[in-house]
């Protein structure tokens, strides 16, 4: 954090004796941030929760930061302007960093449309701990799903700054994983994410 960003100069970082490595040794698995990004209705939340379910069954400590849920509490004071979206992702990034240190596999499901915001979160944690998972789904499929009716309202001009319609979505340049959620089944998508975690050593190669 820069001096300008930190309002108080009277705070000092306290180094805990219980470290991330000790917490991971206790749980028997690594920690990581799984950042699911993509258009609304691309399947981010569905996939994140399905992955969490499988990890939980394997005895892993997990937590899903769901975009809608976070806006009911931590980010309830924010709207959807570019500034508020930036702040929304900044807060979630700081929270997931804490969960990473706690030895938890943190999963997020946010549109997070801007590359700079996602890269800012990546820069908060050690190299390899931020796994960007792009839920790739064509806009027309997302609109057909549209279970919340948001695209229809955005097309009618009732929702301003709606990603994919009146506000841009910047695709990841080099995500750790691209999941074609427009064509793959949920089970196939989950398997791809779990394979990534095995390759990265977050969970054992036998899945445990």
> Looking at the predicted structure, is the pLDDT value of residue 1 above 50?
no
Q: Is residue 6 in a domain?
A: no
Indicate the helix (H) or strand (E) that contains 32: strand 32-37
Interior angle at CA 96, CA 151 and CA 59, nearest 5: 100
With 60 as the cut, is the pLDDT of residue 3 above it? no
| Residue 206 belongs to a domain | no
* Phi, psi torsion values for 82, nearest 5 degrees: -60, -40
Residue 8 inside a domain? The answer is no
Flag whether pLDDT at 79 surpasses 90. no
Q: Which of 41, 112, 167, 189 is catalytic?
A: 112
pLDDT tens track for 100-146: 999 999 999 999 999 999 999 999 999 999 999 999 999 999 999 98
Whether 3 is in a domain gets the answer no
pLDDT of residue 15: 77
Q: Is residue 62 part of a domain?
A: yes
Given a contact cutoff of 8 angstroms between Cβ atoms, the answer to whether 31 and 105 are in contact is: yes
- In angstroms, the CA 42 to CA 142 distance is 6
**Within a domain: residue 152?**
yes
Amino acid 165: pLDDT: 94
Tokens for 144, please give them.
């057909």
Here the CATH number for the domain that contains residue 25 is 3.40.50.300
Residue 184 within any structural domain of the chain = yes
pLDDT single digits (tens) 20-47: 999 999 999 999 999 999 999 999 999 9
Tens of pLDDT, residue by residue over 153-203, are 999 999 988 999 999 999 999 999 999 999 999 999 999 999 999 999 999
Tens digits of residue pLDDT in 81-93: 888 888 989 999 9
| pTM, full prediction | 0.88
Specify the number of domains making up the chain: 1
Told to judge if 41 belongs to the known catalytic residues of this protein, a careful annotator would answer no
pLDDT (0 to 100) of residue 67: 72
Q: What is residue 61's predicted lDDT score, i.e. its pLDDT?
A: 97
Host domain of residue 46: 20-199
* 25 domain residue, yes or no: yes
């Amino acid at each position: 954090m820069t001096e300008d960003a930190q309002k108080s100069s009277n705070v000092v970082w306290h180094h805990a004796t219980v470290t991330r490595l000790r917490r991971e040794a206790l749980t028997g698995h690594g920690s990581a941030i799984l950042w699911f990004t993509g258009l609304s209705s691309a399947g981010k939340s569905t996939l994140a929760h399905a992955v969490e379910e499988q990890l939980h069954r394997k005895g892993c400590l997990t937590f899903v930061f769901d975009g809608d849920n976070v806006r009911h509490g931590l980010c309830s004071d924010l709207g959807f302007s570019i500034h508020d979206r930036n702040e929304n992702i900044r807060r979630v990034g700081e929270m997931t960093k804490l969960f990473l240190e706690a030895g938890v596999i943190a999963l997020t499901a946010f549109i997070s449309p801007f590359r700079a915001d996602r890269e800012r979160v990546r820069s908060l944690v050690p190299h390899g701990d931020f796994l960007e998972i792009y839920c790739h789904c064509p806009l027309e499929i997302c609109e057909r799903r549209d279970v919340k009716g948001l695209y229809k309202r955005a097309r009618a001009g009732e929702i301003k700054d709606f990603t994919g319609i009146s506000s841009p979505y910047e695709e990841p340049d080099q995500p750790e994983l691209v999941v074609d959620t427009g064509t793959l089944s949920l089970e196939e998508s989950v398997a791809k994410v779990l394979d990534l975690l095995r390759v990265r050593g977050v969970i054992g190669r036998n899945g445990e």
